[in-house]
Structure 1
């Protein structure tokens, strides 16, 4: 298998090795300059690259190509064109030009635009992103050459998630290079953001999945009583993998490796039927593309194994939901990780300056970070004592917290706590050096050795948004730092004073304790930290003067693009809750209520039958059960009627008003409907219950 792995890894990618093999040296050098330095690409070079890419793809069986892009839907999109062109004599040629490589033209009016495009204004463009390699994808349609692209409107505004990410990567690179030059690193030409997203997901039996309309339409169970066992035994986390799951993971790994995705870690997660895949780091852009592919691959492979892959943040109430921990750091083109503290962080002035920049960025723009991790599904997780709280704070650990305390209290940091050795008291187990600090799983933004782990991101989300925000806010602080330090007469004194001033002013964002505790909520309020509890409450921060200023300054979003995205977010929330509410109404009316009536009728018939046969028989149990069932049935019907009227009322509203109505009125009404149905599930004969239960879904895989 090891030999096979080295042979198959990246086999479906038009990567650097393939380009060196297939491109003329001058063409490869010109393309490399574009990728590394952002230089304009000569159309003649694009023609040569396109021809080589086409030949490589056709040799591998490809008949079509597509511009693979990431619109504001949060998933990927593609339109396939064949390589064929007409030739004389009724024949065809297989052609692919540089123009076709560089530019595509999908219909922009059919994607979310937040008012940037009217329905009749259809033209949009996909533009080749040469920094992310093209790849082949094989499915029932055959082999397709997929070209990662940006997506923009006819008037130039970004309609996707990739374009702002690329802009933010340029912004942070420019500002980080300015700082590094002040430290004498003139050889550094660029800084990239390195990202590793850990992907959590659930696997359930596909046949059972297809019997649940809520899973099909909304990705989560809208009804369902907890089974006798959940995750309380703590026996699933890191447990032995079931063979069916192992077979799935094996194929997922192989598919990922062929695509050049460095799938590294796999294991059972905390909740039953929950699992995780984690990759090795890549640049933010490639990591984003890879994560989208990972989610697509998992869904496709699950289907082959008779499984359904659930990426929703909270597919099951009562057990842990799924997140996507976004591990982020900054790395120079010379290979230096700017967030590596070294063995003596108190002496590493450059590290401390970049650390201070991150602290200030997170503190100043906690609202934007909270928004970047917001979607309707994540509202079920954040702050629910199973995921990071909705309050943004930073965990630094004992070592760095001590260094900052020294700076704040004395103005100088003279020492760094060390990890020491760990001896478990067993002679056959060797001593080893332990880390200088523990980890904190309750922190939304935790330093973990040489990177920050943004733990709030939802499992179904594109990581483009969180990384775009993180890149931009850090770039802005670095820009201010560079402006100040470039004017300094004495750089060493100025950088020392700047670090001390920054960590002193922003120490409130640092919290190393239990983020799940009620005490922390009260303490955070005292510190003045925002506690934004839902997506709808977070969206307005996107269009504040502060947000417009920072995103415009670094050319990541224009004010128009920000307002359009706010509209898209409101609309996405409203549509999601509307679909869920309508699904609940349909399931209640067509499945649950009829099943309960059938059960109640059988109870009534049983009571009458027994009384007829044995007039003096004690039927109090049956009568009590019938009364309880009838009462819950009446509650359910009342709740259905109320929810139906609220959904109708919501349809009369628009934008922010509609989203707020869904959050404050419709969403609670959904809970009111779920409660009696879930109680009835525990009463009604299992053979009469119309859908697979939580026990069926979570434990029978």
Structure 2
């Protein structure tokens, strides 16, 4: 095994940057060239078909069979002209990633001849095996039927393989035979529809010309890169995406010299390559840089409509994995692949915009616009306050459990950072009395609303310890894990904000009728109550400190560190009622997601437990015993030469190795027994609890002794690629 390590290190050290073919110096020449976008549709469809498709994209209306046939013919013609030989419904089952089943663009007719074939029915619907994907008990194994259906709001695209041929990928939803939602996209689309309706009903209070409100998202993606040979020499990285053992290197991230530093040549070539391919797919990646931890980097796109942004992020992750192998890298999205240094998040920058071109979360110096901005800001705060536990559940996972609260990521306590200026504005609204209402075109309430400063991105401070921070014209949900599908937390956020905006509209209409008040007066009165009810979730300080945990507890805020505990929010009747009323998820679908997340958690802890046992006994302990035997011979030789004093340090190492090997063997045995105990439990909640407490409790104990052996045993003998090699050989 040690030979494998040194061979891998040698291969990694001898790598050079892979040459990248640059399409052209102008992004505008190739941006979106591999997507079936509006420009292609306009050119290839009849005016009638083009109009119906664009209307369907904007409104969500169904596309009739005749139009679907015309679109399918155009898609096939376009895709084949670009080298595509197959098509697939590209969908997002509840695995956290994407799925696809490729079918060729041909069939055999009655004469036995091959004919090109792609009808509207194939475009709009396919039938994958529903029982083979996570379903939370909705489908039995023998009930295999399920359907994927085309989502025209996300453009079809072509993905190429190493052979140079392409596959037409059609973004789709995934449902069971009986209609239950089995994917991440379907409820996201429903939540966006609910948010559009609710937000529009509030926006028209301020501007009657608003007809649509869209949620936008910019998902910053953090990731690690390790050389492929080094990756393949670490079974734990291959099987679980993280290292279960590894002594910290002398130099980690303590000098802060990696952050925004010069990008290594091999890494830069990889970035350039995947960015070109991403841009061809219409993924608007713009930013690249070194992150805080060694071997960690970040890519960030411009803002897009939420559904498209979520699709693009999942597609980008898949693309990065493929391109990384071309450059002899493996890309790691796990939330905590290395102990002792920062993990990876996916910062979800979320906002709301109208079809009139207004960002509803952007402050203004104009009084009427300021009141609109504050109205939407306060309603988001109220929504997060009332549904904090559900928002926490949306980012709960085995990987994120390692990261949250680890002095590198937001804590498990959901709080909101607004910044000094906005906190003062809300305090003024809550505490000041209405002085008067000015008449005329610029009507406003003298509450300080007319004095809200123009809050631009560069004069609103940031708080990287906050899980949900206002950053000038958007909220940044920083607590989402690096490997997560953003569709889940965004679906939750969209729905709870939509629900709150509906409440606001009801409160507003009631107050206007009951009190016949002025519009501005009524709005401020309602906001006063909301601020008072939800202000305990506002926190401006250091979320990493223990003092915040104590303060949060005193405020009555939840601090749910355990994933199984966090996921229980999916069973809360009040939350289920909201999602059923908003038409996003049924109670059965909510329960299914709860079970799927628990199953996923159990399986990941189970895999890591097995890896720990295998590596500890078959790699580390066996190596330690062999090395110890050599030390015994050395000690004996020293004693035979009457060099007892010189033998003592060797004997001390022999004893320490014995003690640590004994502890490792004992703990591995106990962990195995604990795992067997958990596996014999039928109740999935109890099983997850045991895995998260008893089984997982052995991980750090075993690791402690293994990592101590790493610095005791001769470097030439150590079987596992070390942290200094994984993190610094690029």
**2: CA distance, partners of 1:386 / 1:88:** 64
Residue 91 of structure 1: CA displacement?
A: 2.3
**Which residue number in structure 2 is paired with residue 190 of structure 1?**
212
Query: Contact 2:404–2:410 (CA<8 Å) still a contact in 1?
Result: yes
- Report the 3-state secondary structure (helix = DSSP H, G, I; strand = E; otherwise coil) of the residue aligned with 1:619: helix
Query: In 1, Cα distance between the equivalents of 2:116 and 2:26?
Result: 32
Residue 675 of structure 1 deviates from its aligned partner by: 1.1
The aligned residue for residue 392 of structure 1 is: 414
Q: Give the CA deviation at 1:89.
A: 4.6
Deviation at 1:312, TM superposition (A): 0.3
Tell me what 1:371 maps to: 393
SS of alignment partner, residue 300 of structure 1: helix
Aligned residue number for residue 78 of structure 2:
56
1:244 is aligned to 266
Is 1:265 equivalent to 2:265 in the alignment?
no
The correspondence of residues 281-292 of structure 1 with structure 2, limited to 5 A, is 281-292=303-314
Residue pairs, 1:507-656, within 5 angstroms: 507-614=535-642, 618-654=646-682, 655-656=684-685
Following TM superposition, by how much is the alpha carbon of 1:411 offset from its aligned partner in structure 2, in angstroms? 3.3
651, 673, 691: which is aligned to 2:702? 673
CA–CA distance in 2 between the matches of 1:89 and 1:419? 73
TM-score (norm 2): 0.92
**Mapped partners of 2:368, 2:557: distance in 1:** 27
1:146 aligns with 2:169: yes
Instruction: Spell out, residue by residue over 1:318-360, the C-alpha distance to the aligned partner (whole angstroms, 9 max, x if none).
Output: 0000000000001112221111112357961111111111010
Tell me the equivalent position of 1:213.
235
Q: Match for 1:440 among 453, 463, 471?
A: 463
- In structure 1, runs of 5+ residues without a counterpart are 421-432
Q: Which moved more, 1:145-154 or 1:347-356?
A: 347-356
CA distance in 2, matches of 1:278, 1:623: 55
Q: TM-score, normalised by structure 1?
A: 0.96
Alpha carbons 1:340, 1:450 under 8 Å: kept:
yes
Alpha-carbon contact 1:193-1:330 (below 8 Å) kept: yes
Structure 2 spans left out of the alignment, 5+ residues:
1-21, 435-446
Question: 1:373–1:688: structure 2 CA closer, same or farther, 3 Å change rule?
Answer: same
CA-atom RMSD, angstroms?
1.5
Measured after TM superposition, the shift of residue 613 of structure 1 is 4.4
| Distance apart, 1:4 and its partner CA | 4.1
Deviation at residue 419 of structure 1 after TM alignment: 7.7
- After superposition, the Cα gap between the structure-2 partners of 1:329 and 1:419, relative to the gap in structure 1 and judged at 3 Å, is closer
- Cα deviation per residue 1:631-672 (whole Å; 9 max; x = unaligned)? 111111111111111111111123111000001100011222
2:192 to 158, 166, 169: 169
Residue 443 of structure 2: aligned partner: none
> 2: CA distance between counterparts of 1:46 and 1:618?
85
Give the length in aligned residue pairs: 688
Contact 2:246 2:722 in 1 (8 A): yes
Tell me the SS of whatever aligns to 1:9: coil
Rounded Cα–Cα distance in structure 2 between residues aligned with 1:416 and 1:236: 41
Cα distance in 1 between the residues matched to 2:339 and 2:354:
43
TM-aligned CA distance change 1:593 to 1:416, over 3 Å = farther
Aligned to 2:167, what secondary structure does the other structure show?
A: strand
* Contact 1:198–1:326 (Cα < 8 Å) also in 2: yes
Which residue matches 1:699? 728
Instruction: Summarize the alignment of residues 95-494 of structure 1 with structure 2, pairs less than 5 Å apart.
Output: 95-140=117-162, 142-185=165-208, 187-343=209-365, 348-412=370-434, 413-414=447-448, 416=451, 418=453, 435-487=458-510, 488=512, 489-490=516-517, 491-494=519-522
Greater shift, 258-267 or 666-675, is seen at: 666-675
SS at match of 1:235: coil
Write out per-residue CA displacement over residues 416-468 of structure 1, whole angstroms, 9 at most, x where no aligned residue: 46489xxxxxxxxxxxx984431111111000110000000000000000100
Corresponding residue SS for 1:328: strand
CA deviation map 1:601-657 (0-9, x unaligned): 111111123333455562111111111111111111111111111111111123111
> Contact (CA 8 Å) 2:430, 2:532: kept in 1 or not?
yes
- Secondary structure at the aligned position of 2:610 is classed as helix
Cα deviations by residue, 1:469-497 (Å, 9 ceiling, x for unpaired): 00000000001111222342333322121
Q: CA deviation at 1:294?
A: 1.0
Alpha-carbon displacement from aligned partner over 1:535-554 (angstroms, at most 9, x marks no partner)? 11111111111111111010
